[in-house]
């Protein structure tokens, strides 16, 4: 089992920034690719960003490319999502997830999920 706990969400004005963190415990963090997903009210969950086990490769949804940056610190068992130039349409609950086998945007490839942290962007 891997336990994931997100933090860093909050209320921010459009154009502002937030940094989300996801702390992992349980099994060896560096064995897992990590991803961030989000879900807005009334919408399906959507992929945001992913990072390989070593952090050597990242992948972003087109909607956040150039504004968001995913990173990880395997020594601290933590993955981050730096979000800049936030827009009202970024408002959602953001969840991190861990994938043992695959790296990518498909939620079904992720084995463990956190509870999420709310991000609200006001206009």
pLDDT tens readout for residues 29-48:
999 999 999 999 999 999 99
**Rounded to an integer, what distance in angstroms lies between the CA atom of residue 111 and that of residue 32?**
9
Q: Average pLDDT of 90-102?
A: 96
* pLDDT level of residue 73 (50, 70, 90 thresholds): very high
Q: Give the residues across from 55 on adjacent strands.
A: none
Mean model confidence pLDDT for the chain: 96
- How many Å apart are CA 24 and CA 114, to the nearest integer? 9
65 CB-side CA count, 13 A = 6
Asked if residues 70 and 60 have their Cβ atoms less than 8 Å apart, the reply is: yes
Q: How far apart are CA 102 and CA 94, in angstroms?
A: 20
How sure is the predictor about 101, in pLDDT bands with cuts at 50, 70 and 90? confident
Residue pair 33/102 in contact (Cβ under 8 Å)? The answer is yes
């Amino acid at each position: 089992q891997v336990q994931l706990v997100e933090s860093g969400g909050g209320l921010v004005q459009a154009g502002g920034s937030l940094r989300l963190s996801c702390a992992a415990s349980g099994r060896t963090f560096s064995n897992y690719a990590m991803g961030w997903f989000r879900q807005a009210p009334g919408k399906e969950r959507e992929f945001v960003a992913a990072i390989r086990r070593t952090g050597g490769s990242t992948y972003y949804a087109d909607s956040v490319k150039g504004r968001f940056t995913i990173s990880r610190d395997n020594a601290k068992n933590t993955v981050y999502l730096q979000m800049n130039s936030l827009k009202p349409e970024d408002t959602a609950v953001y969840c991190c997830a861990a994938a043992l086998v695959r790296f990518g945007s498909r939620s079904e490839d992720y084995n463990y999920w956190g509870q999420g942290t709310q991000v609200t962007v006001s206009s």
